[in-house]
Structure 1
Amino acid sequence: MYSLDVNFLKDRPAYQKKPERKGGMSLKLPTGNLTPVYVGVALGIGLPALLGVGWWLLQGKIVELEGQIAQLDQESKRLDAEIGNLNKIKAETIAIKGETQALVTVFDQIRPWSAMLQDLRDRIPAAVQIENIKQIPPIAVVAGQPPNNPAGGLEITGLARSFNDVNDFLLSLQQSRFLKSTESRIITTALVDAPLIPGVVQPNSGVVIQPPQVVKYTIQSSMNDVPASELIRELEKKGTVGLVTRIRSMQKIGVISK
């Protein structure tokens, strides 16, 4: 008879062999809270993308700034050219103003002889005669320096009936606005025989008539250096209409101050 020997212990779970996995190492997936994993993955993908976008924006901004710099350079060159032209015009304007002011200064120092002679006629006493009027050139106090009074002065010579008449003439001249009162003075006075009247001869009776004695004088004075624009009333009174008209025209346009 045959007998069956069956081992039922091998069929128990404890004795079951686990099947072998092919491929070597086994991959175990993490379990539990996966948030850090997702955050890491997002950062790994997002940061390069953000850097790329930032680099692209930066390059665009650089190109824009380079265009603005080039435009500003062109504008700067244009403004430099305009500033150069303005400086040139300014220099020319200053030169013209200087020439105009020099011309106005000379014009404003004009003393019309017609006005001055009329002023002398109005001031000379009845007992005084003028033989000669001479203009004295300005004299520099220090050599090489411009004179204090570029207008110069006058020297008047003539005859008077007495010394008092000469003094009266001097006082009258000191009131003139065309002359400097402090620099008007008598230089010389002397008694001389009065000159013979033209056409009058000595009588044939043999009696010699002695001519009366008169005072021969010399008076000097400096011309007033006050601008002619400040003597408009005096010039009008003496009939100097042309000069007054020119001065008032220049005052209207502002070349000479009122």
Structure 2
Amino acid sequence: MYSLDVNFLKDRPAYQNHPEKKAGISLNFPTGNLTPVYVGAALGVGLPVLLGVGWWFLQGQIVELEGHTAQLDQESKRLDTEIGNINKIKAETNTIKGETQALVTVFDQIRPWSAMLQDLRDRIPAAVQIENIKQIPPVAAVAGQPPNNPAGGLEITGLARSFNDVNDFLLSLQQSQFLKSTESRIVTATLVDAPLTPGVSPPPTGVTIKPLKVVKYTIQSSMSDVPASELIRELEKKGTVGLVTRIRSMQQTGVIPK
């Protein structure tokens, strides 16, 4: 005989509301907007790539800048060398200019004795004689300092018929362009017996002749500090042709201003 086994529990409502869960793993995929997911994935993949490309580009720029810096360093060293050579040339040029200017200054302070003696001949009065002319060395105003007038001065000694003749000689010297008028002065002037004229026989024995009185004088003056280049006309009048020619030659070359 067959037996019929019917399970009526499955037909009950309580059992139908709680179906049995199937064994296994359930995968739930989002079914909404997937754009954020794609963006995140793209960033995750693209950002490292961009960083790598940026790093590679920066490395290239650094190498290029290092090469450019090396070239600039070489150029700077070359320019420093050229600047040093230029400064050396400038220093040598300034030294030569200084030496040339010093030589020109000395040359421009030359007072030819021939011109000065001719000037004295033209100015001495008829009643005045010159016995001696001596050059006075320059004297510094302050010890250890260069003299105010490197040319120095003159000291003239001689005889004159009277004091007025000595004064006339002084006034004439003060008009000379070779001397400083403000520093020309009579140092001494005294009456003395006139010296015997050479070649004149002395008076006979027992005859007394009272000697004539003359003035023995000493005049001092400082030489003018006016450059010789400004005394060309006066030097030409006194016959100093050589010095005038040299001065004009230097004026043409620009060493001495006209």
Indicate conservation of the 8 Å contact 1:202/1:208, yes or no: no
Divergent runs of 4+, >4 A: 4-7, 17-21, 202-211
**Matched residue type, 2:96:** I
Instruction: Flag structure 2 segments of 5+ consecutive residues without an equivalent.
Output: 11-15
**Matched residue type, 2:126:** A
Which sits farther off after the overlay, 31-40 or 186-195?
186-195
Map of 1:129 onto structure 2? 129
State the distance in 1 between where 2:75 and 2:117 align: 66
State the distance in 1 between where 2:70 and 2:204 align: 114
Q: How much does 1:62 deviate? A: 0.7
- TM-score scaled by structure 2? 0.84
Q: Secondary structure at the match of 1:195?
A: coil
Map of 2:32 onto structure 1? 32
The RMSD of aligned alpha carbons is 3.1
State the distance in 1 between where 2:21 and 2:160 align: 163
Map of 1:112 onto structure 2? 112
Q: Secondary structure at the match of 1:133?
A: strand
Q: How much does 1:60 deviate? A: 0.6
Map of 2:242 onto structure 1? 242
Indicate conservation of the 8 Å contact 1:202/1:209, yes or no: no
Map of 2:217 onto structure 1? 217
Q: Secondary structure at the match of 1:257?
A: coil
The C-alpha deviation readout for 1:154-186, integer Å capped at 9, x for no partner, is: 111122222111110100001111111111111
Q: How much does 1:135 deviate? A: 0.9
State the distance in 2 between where 1:117 and 1:194 align: 25
State the distance in 1 between where 2:49 and 2:205 align: 146
Which sits farther off after the overlay, 247-256 or 38-47?
247-256
Q: How much does 1:206 deviate? A: 7.1
Q: How much does 1:213 deviate? A: 2.9
Q: Taking every aligned residue pair, what percent have the same amino acid on both sides?
A: 84
Q: Secondary structure at the match of 1:45?
A: helix
Which sits farther off after the overlay, 244-253 or 105-114?
244-253
Instruction: Flag structure 1 segments of 5+ consecutive residues without an equivalent.
Output: none
Which sits farther off after the overlay, 170-179 or 216-225?
216-225
Which sits farther off after the overlay, 173-182 or 205-214?
205-214
Indicate conservation of the 8 Å contact 1:136/1:152, yes or no: yes
Map of 1:96 onto structure 2? 96
Q: Between Structure 1 and Structure 2, how many residues are aligned?
A: 253
Q: Secondary structure at the match of 2:178?
A: coil
**Matched residue type, 2:101:** Q
